[in-house]
Amino acid sequence: MTTAPTGPPGTTPADEGVVQVQGLTKHFGAVAAVQDLSFTVRPGRVTGFLGPNGAGKTTTLRMLLGLVRPTSGTATVSGRAYGDLARPMSTVGAALEAASFHPGRSALDHLRTYAPSIGAPDSRCAEVLALVGLEGAARRRVGGFSLGMRQRLALATTLLGDPKVLLLDEPANGLDPEGIVWLRGLLRHLASQGRTVLVSSHMLSEVQQTVDDVIIIARGRLVHASPIAELASLAVPTVTVASPDEAGLDALVAANGWERTAEAGAPGTSVVTLRGTSAAAVGSAAFAAGLELHELASRSVGLEDVFLHLVQEPGTPGPTTTGGAP
Amino acid sequence: MIAALRSEYRKIVTTRTWWVLLLAMLAYMSFLAATFAFAMTQGGAMGGPGTQGLGHSPTSAISVYTIAVAFGYVFPVIVGALSVTGEFRHQTITPTLLAEPRRTTLVGAKLLAAVPVGVLYGVLGTAAGVGVGAGVLALTDHATYLDDPEVLVAVGRSVLALAVWAVVGVGLGLAMPNQVAVIVVVLAFTQFVEPILRFALAFVADGALAGVGAYLPGAAGEAITGSSFYSQMGAGELLAWWQGLLVLVGYALVFAALGRVTTLRRDIT
Ligand SMILES: Nc1ncnc2c1ncn2[C@@H]1O[C@H](COP(=O)(O)OP(=O)(O)OP(=O)(O)O)[C@@H](O)[C@H]1O
Ligand SMILES: [Mg+2]
């Protein structure tokens, strides 16, 4: 048993602020939305919860929040099921996708309706509105809000109870670039205060600059969980080679057992991209074979490509530099 | 529970629904009270065959003053029901259950939060009936019977009945969270099915089933004030006021329990 990285030892229980999912499974009829999912989210860090559409992110969050009953497995925050927390919204602040508001209520009234249950004083409502930059819209009906304003109001709702743990489902959706920068700063700030921040997204690039850890799921299953730096180490560099001698190039690739990941070429030139080798190795082999090269370039794979590779159906080709496919 | 109750109460009063429906109720009750008070002064002109008429008597005065219990209870019912169905319609049930994950507590809070709103509807809805009804009687030089203790007790219980109706509405909303469905069912049942049932039960099988009609929700509500146009028109007898109250509260609790084990057992996605 390891202790949580933050909090002075002995004053807080080891699992304070820790989000723990264990063997979590959910079937909606024949649909297996989440299957045997296990992961841990630690305080003081921003964790990206990533996966393509339909991967099961929202379902997992809803199970963590006691809204959806798991078929099997457990999901706890600070060692307890959500429904067993004494004041749940002052422990966990959650904003789910399709943030839900009564269109006829003003932003301030929206917060005021939840404040008593959460145990927050009414003065806190104006405070969190200011925190998310909505102080000017406090008395406006939510029905007239833009998507970005709704996201901000959803975020304000999660902050009402000053929670130790934040679970945010696609919070960047609908935010303008300035809003995204602001959100990044806010999430970093919240984590630096020792809070646990779990933020879901279907795009790694959206959260790449914000997160410390990533949990990647696809088709309801965990495919990767690590600090983001380790994800980068999964990126395998590729080498692109161009030669006018197509047959010679093919023979060279085959003889060395390099993995071809892409082909291109103009008349009279063959261009291939190779994986698991280096420009130096390819250059020296070509020189030894007397093969004429017109291009030899080494490229590192973007994290987004690593991510896409991880979430692809098994058996599809690995990440390559030739992104931007149709 | 107190905290959840305050949240639920705020939910009701921070949207327009409650006062729009209240104004509609007041307009409707004023109109009905004026019409029936005038009929009262005409000495039973309203009566059909087999009725005891609507003569100028304390009993008739009670019927006019508590008209909201006979014809206006659908308003507090709908306000109560919308306090639940609105949560599903606008998906606010998600944040609601995040703030209060104990679902039975939530049911209790919703039921209780409807009480002050029901009392408001009861006070103002009854006031409309009394004000307009007594006004018409006074203007036409008829006694208003407002000094009759029996009349005053009935007026007080009218407030009680309407408050309970709001709670029944919450129960209905929990059992039937689809907003359109619940409004259609409430209107169809209160305006059409129950009146017909009450007459039918009074007359079929040589009146052997007449007692059953008294347990229908509308009849139970009227029993609380002890006066009813339907029974004055021969649609069966009413329960004692406290029996009516218990039956009506029973409906609210049964519907709410049903909602607790159906609507609130499901996954919220
Ligand atoms: N109430 C439901 N009934 C049936 N199937 C459902 C239900 N909710 C979710 N699913 C299915 O479960 C799977 C996971 O859905 P979920 O919403 O958790 O994905 P997600 O990762 O949040 O996707 P997105 O990025 O699109 O938000 C999908 O196949 C979805 O169709
Ligand atoms: Mg989702």
Would an 8 Å CB–CB cutoff place B48 in contact with chain A?
no
Q: How far apart are CA B80 and CA A52, in angstroms?
A: 41
User: Do A32 and A166 share a domain, yes or no?
Assistant: yes
Note the pLDDT of residue A320: 45
User: Do A222 and A242 share a domain, yes or no?
Assistant: no
Could you tell me if residue B87 is inside a domain?
yes
User: Do A51 and A192 share a domain, yes or no?
Assistant: yes
Could you tell me if residue A321 is inside a domain?
no
Ligand 1: atom nearest CA of A202 is 25
Note the pLDDT of residue A199: 96
Q: How far apart are CA B169 and CA B259, in angstroms?
A: 12
Q: How confident is the model at residue B44 (pLDDT cuts 50, 70, 90)?
A: very low
User: Do A186 and A244 share a domain, yes or no?
Assistant: no
Going from the Cα of A246 to the center of ligand 2, the distance in angstroms, rounded, reads 47
User: Do A216 and A244 share a domain, yes or no?
Assistant: no
Low-confidence ranges of chain A (pLDDT < 50): 1-11, 318-326
Could you tell me if residue B266 is inside a domain?
no
Q: Residues A195, A163: contact at Cβ < 8 Å?
A: yes
The per-residue b/e assignment along B120-135, b for 16 or more CB within 10 angstroms, e otherwise, is: bbbebbbbbbbbbbbe
Ligand 1: atom nearest CA of A52 is 25
User: Do A149 and A284 share a domain, yes or no?
Assistant: no
User: Do A95 and A216 share a domain, yes or no?
Assistant: yes
Structural domain containing residue B248: 2-261
Could you tell me if residue B268 is inside a domain?
no
User: Do A186 and A112 share a domain, yes or no?
Assistant: yes
Could you tell me if residue B267 is inside a domain?
no
**For chain A, what is the radius of gyration of the CA atoms?**
24
User: Do A242 and A224 share a domain, yes or no?
Assistant: no
Structural domain containing residue A259: 237-299
Indicate yes or no: pTM above 0.80. Answer: yes
Could you tell me if residue A170 is inside a domain?
yes
Would the ipTM clear 0.90, i.e. be above it? no
Going from the Cα of B14 to the center of ligand 1, the distance in angstroms, rounded, reads 32
Could you tell me if residue A215 is inside a domain?
yes
Chain segment B119-177, per-residue pLDDT in tens: 999 999 999 999 999 999 999 888 889 999 999 999 999 999 999 999 999 999 999 99
**For chain B, what is the radius of gyration of the CA atoms?**
19
pLDDT at B39 over 50: yes
Query: Is the CB of B269 less than 8 angstroms away from the CB of A101?
Result: no
Q: How confident is the model at residue B3 (pLDDT cuts 50, 70, 90)?
A: confident
User: Do A207 and A255 share a domain, yes or no?
Assistant: no
Residues in chain B: 269
Domain boundary among A228, A261, A287: A228
What's the CATH number where A186 sits?
3.40.50.300
What's the CATH number where A251 sits?
3.30.70
What integer best gives the mean pLDDT of chain B? 89
User: Do A176 and A203 share a domain, yes or no?
Assistant: yes
Could you tell me if residue B177 is inside a domain?
yes
Could you tell me if residue A319 is inside a domain?
no
Could you tell me if residue B201 is inside a domain?
yes
User: Do A93 and A163 share a domain, yes or no?
Assistant: yes
CA distance to partner chain A, nearest, from residue B161 (Å): 27
Structural domains counted in chain A: 2
Q: How far apart are CA B109 and CA B12, in angstroms?
A: 12
Structural domains counted in chain B: 1
Could you tell me if residue A168 is inside a domain?
yes
Task: Quickly tell me which residue has 């965990």 as its tokens.
Answer: A222
Query: Is the CB of A116 less than 8 angstroms away from the CB of B4?
Result: yes
Going from the Cα of A76 to the center of ligand 1, the distance in angstroms, rounded, reads 20
